C-alpha cells in the first residue's frame, strides 16, 4: 500500500490523525502546509491525500487544483470543521472524492479510505495485467512493446483495426517505462469537438473564448511527467496538428489565451486505424507530424491472426469478469470453445471481452455454455452436451418443487417459466 499524506496545519491534530492511521495498518506521513505537501508529492509515491480545508493562508482546494494541474490522479479527501462545510462541498465539485467532518478518527472514515485505496489498486492491477501471448504475431508485438518502452524520448505510432487493443498496447508501453509511476492519460481524438480540441489538449485561460468561465488544465498538464495517448489521432484538425507538432518539437506549449509557455514533460503515444499516408495525400494530415509520431511504428494484429490466443484470452477476460461480478465461473465448455475458434471476431479483442463479460452475467452454472453466448456460428451441441443440459434442467426442476412443497405454480414462478411450460417439462422427465 502506498503512503497516505495528511495535510493539516495543526501539528497536534496532524500527528494524532497520522498515528491513528498507522495503528490501523496504513503507512502515513503528515505535513503542515500546502507548500510542504507539494514537495512531498514530488518526491514520494503517494496513494491518497487527506487534507484539511483551512491551511493557514491557503486551503485544500488550492492543493487539489495544483495536483490536478500537475497530473496527480490520486484519491483526495477533505477534512472540515462545521463552519467549513460549504467550502468542502465546493472542493468535491472540483474533484475531491469526499469531505469528512472532524473528528475523522472513526470506523466510517477508515472504510472510506480503504475503499478508495482498494479501488485504486484494483484499477492499477487490471490496467497493468498483460496476457502473455503464444501466437507468433502477438509474441512479436509483445517483444516490440518491451523494447520500445524504455526509449522514453521516442514517439510510438500504434496501428491496427478497431478493437484490436491499441490502447492496451499503449498502457503497457507506459507500464514498462520509467514513467510508470506517473499518469497515463488517454484521449479519444475522434470524440473531441473540433472547435474545442486545442483547449482540451493544451488548456485555456479564463475568458479566452465564450464559455471559458475559469482556467482549465488540458490533457498535456494532466499527463505531466507521464504518458499522453492520442487515440484516432487522424481526426485532429489541421490547426490542432500544427500546435501538437510544435509542442512535441519544442517540448513547450501555451494554453489558449495564455501568455506564458509551459514545459511539456510527457511521452506521446498515438494510435490510428486510418491510412494516414492516404490522409497526407488528400491534405488531411500533416506529413511532418506523421514522421514525428511514426518514429517507432507498431502494428497490432487482428484476433483471427492470433488463433492460438483466442481461448486463453477468453479465460484471461473471464478471470476479471469473475472478480468484477463476484462470480465463480470455472471456464467454457467444449461447445463454446469450438464456437470461439470458428467465429471470425470482426470486433477483435474488444468483442471477445464483451462476449465473455455478458456470458459471465448470464451463466447459471459453473461453466459457460452455448446458451450463454450469442454468436452467429453453426455449432451444434454435442450429445454429451444435450444430456448434461437435460440432466441439469431436471435437477433444477426437482429442487424447485422441493423448495415450494410441490406447488407447481410457485415452482414455475421460481424457475422463471410459465405453468404450461413447466407441465410439459414434467411430462418429458417423467415427473408426473
Q: What is the CATH number of the domain that holds 397?
A: 1.10.10
Same-domain check for residues 30 and 149 = no
More confident residue, 196 or 168: 168
CATH of the domain at 365: 1.10.8.60
Q: What is the pLDDT of residue 314?
A: 93
Whether 364 and 409 map to the same domain: the answer is no
| pLDDT beyond 60 at 171 | yes
* Domain coverage including residue 89: 3-123
- Domain boundary among the residues 372, 401, 420 is at 372
Same domain, 274 and 368: no
Q: What is the mean pLDDT of residues 255-284?
A: 93
Tens digits of residue pLDDT in 375-395: 988 887 776 665 566 667 777
Confidence at residue 84, expressed as pLDDT on a 0 to 100 scale: 64
Structural domains in the chain (count): 4
Using CA atoms, how far apart are residues 61 and 91, in angstroms rounded to an integer? Answer: 6
Positive/negative CA dihedral, 325, 320, 46, 17: positive
Structure confidence by residue, pLDDT tens digits, 14-57: 999 999 999 998 999 999 999 999 888 877 878 899 999 888 88
Q: What is the CATH number of the domain that holds 206?
A: 3.40.50.300
CA–CA separation, 192 vs 195, rounded Å? 8
Q: Which of 299, 316, 333 is the C-terminal boundary of a domain? A: 299
Residue 358 lies in a domain: yes
Residue 408 belongs to some domain of the structure: yes
CATH code for the domain in which residue 24 is found: 3.40.50.2300
Residue 3 to residue 75: CA distance in whole angstroms: 12
148 and 247 share one domain: yes
CA–CA dist 353, 357 (Å, integer): 6
Do 247 and 314 belong to one domain?
Answer: no
Residues 92 and 169 in one domain: no
Would residue 133 count as lying in a domain?
A: no
Strands (DSSP E) found in 172-293: 184-188, 227-231, 252-253, 262-263, 267-272
Rounded Cα–Cα distance for residues 430 and 432 (Å): 6
76-80 and 46-52 strand pairing = parallel
CA angle 248-240-292, nearest 5°?
35
List pLDDT tens digits, range 46-100: 889 999 988 888 888 889 888 877 667 789 999 987 656 677 777 787 788 888 8
Of 299, 318, 341, the residue at which a domain comes to its end is: 299
User: With bands split at pLDDT 50, 70 and 90, how would you rate the model's confidence at 195?
Assistant: confident
**Any residues with CB less than 8 A from the CB of 165 and at least 6 apart, and which?**
300, 348, 349, 350
A 10 A CB-CB count for 257 gives 15
Does residue 352 contact residue 375 with C-beta atoms inside 8 Å? no
Rounded Cα gap, residues 189 and 70, in angstroms? 22
In this structure, the answer to whether residues 264 and 182 fall within a common structural domain is yes
Say whether pLDDT at 423 is over 90: no
Residues 28 and 92 placed together within one structural domain of the fold: yes
Q: Are 311 and 340 in contact (CB under 8 A)?
A: yes
Query: Do 403 and 321 fall within a single domain?
Result: no
Tell me what pLDDT residue 393 has.
79
In a domain, 128, yes or no: no
Q: Are 228 and 268 in contact (CB under 8 A)?
A: yes
Nine cell digits for residue 239: 490547426
Same domain, 288 and 353: no
Q: Is residue 132 part of a domain?
A: no
Report yes or no on 378 lying in a domain: no
Q: Are residues 365 and 415 in the same domain?
A: no
Instruction: Evaluate whether residue 165 is within a structural domain.
Output: yes
- The whole-angstrom separation of Cα 122 and Cα 127 is 9
What is the per-residue burial (b if ≥16 Cβ within 10 Å, else e) of 364-378? eeeebbbebbeeeee
Of 119-123, 131-135, 171-175, 245-249, the one with minimum mean pLDDT is 119-123
Question: Domain check: are 295 and 307 in the same one?
Answer: no
In a domain, 186, yes or no: yes
Contact between 284 and 271 under an 8 Å Cβ cutoff? The reply is no
Amino acid at each position: 500500500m502506498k503512503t497516505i499524506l495528511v495535510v493539516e496545519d495543526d501539528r497536534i491534530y496532524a500527528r494524532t490523525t497520522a498515528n491513528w492511521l498507522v495503528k490501523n495498518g496504513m503507512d502515513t506521513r503528515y505535513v503542515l502546509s500546502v507548500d510542504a505537501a507539494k514537495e512531498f508529492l514530488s518526491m514520494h509515491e503517494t496513494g491518497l491525500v487527506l487534507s484539511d480545508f483551512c491551511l493557514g493562508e491557503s486551503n485544500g482546494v488550492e492543493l487539489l487544483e495544483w495536483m490536478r494541474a500537475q497530473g496527480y490522479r490520486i484519491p483526495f479527501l477533505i477534512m472540515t470543521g462545521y463552519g467549513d462545510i460549504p467550502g468542502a462541498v465546493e472542493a468535491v465539485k472540483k474533484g475531491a472524492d469526499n469531505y469528512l467532518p472532524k473528528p475523522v478518527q472513526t470506523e466510517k472514515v477508515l472504510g472510506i479510505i480503504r475503499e478508495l485505496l482498494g479501488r485504486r489498486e484494483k484499477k492499477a492491477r487490471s490496467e497493468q495485467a498483460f496476457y502473455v501471448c503464444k501466437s507468433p504475431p502477438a509474441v512479436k508485438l509483445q517483444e516490440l512493446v518491451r523494447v520500445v518502452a524504455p526509449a522514453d524520448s521516442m514517439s510510438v505510432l500504434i496501428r491496427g483495426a478497431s478493437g484490436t487493443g491499441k490502447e492496451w498496447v499503449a498502457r503497457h508501453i507506459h507500464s514498462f517505462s520509467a514513467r510508470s509511476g506517473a499518469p497515463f492519460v488517454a484521449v479519444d481524438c475522434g470524440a473531441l469537438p473540433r472547435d474545442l480540441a486545442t483547449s482540451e489538449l493544451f488548456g485555456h485561460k479564463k475568458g479566452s473564448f465564450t464559455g471559458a468561465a475559469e482556467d482549465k488544465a488540458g490533457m498535456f498538464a494532466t499527463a505531466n511527467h507521464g504518458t499522453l495517448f492520442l487515440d484516432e489521432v487522424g481526426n485532429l484538425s489541421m490547426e490542432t496538428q500544427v500546435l501538437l507538432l510544435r509542442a512535441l518539437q519544442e517540448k513547450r506549449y501555451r494554453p489558449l489565451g495564455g501568455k506564458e509557455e509551459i514545459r511539456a514533460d510527457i511521452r506521446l503515444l498515438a494510435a490510428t486505424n486510418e491510412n494516414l499516408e492516404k490522409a497526407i495525400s488528400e491534405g488531411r494530415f500533416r506529413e511532418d507530424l506523421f514522421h514525428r509520431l511514426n518514429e517507432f511504428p507498431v502494428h497490432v494484429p487482428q484476433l483471427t491472426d492470433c488463433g492460438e490466443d483466442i481461448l486463453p484470452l477468453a479465460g484471461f477476460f473471464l478471470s476479471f469478469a469473475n472478480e468484477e461480478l463476484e462470480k465463480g465461473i470455472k471456464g467454457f465448455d467444449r461447445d463454446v470453445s469450438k464456437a470461439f475458434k470458428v467465429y471470425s471476431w470482426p470486433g477483435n479483442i474488444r468483442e471477445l471481452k464483451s462476449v465473455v463479460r455478458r456470458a459471465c452475467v448470464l451463466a447459471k452454472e459453473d461453466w459457460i455454455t452455448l446458451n450463454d453466448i450469442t454468436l452467429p456460428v453453426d455449432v451444434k451441441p454435442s450429445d454429451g452436451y444435450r444430456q448434461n443440459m437435460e440432466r441439469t434442467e431436471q435437477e433444477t426442476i426437482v429442487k424447485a418443487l422441493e423448495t415450494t412443497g410441490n406447488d407447481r405454480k410457485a415452482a414455475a414462478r421460481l424457475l422463471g417459466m410459465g405453468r404450461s411450460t413447466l407441465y410439459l417439462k414434467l411430462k418429458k422427465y417423467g415427473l408426473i
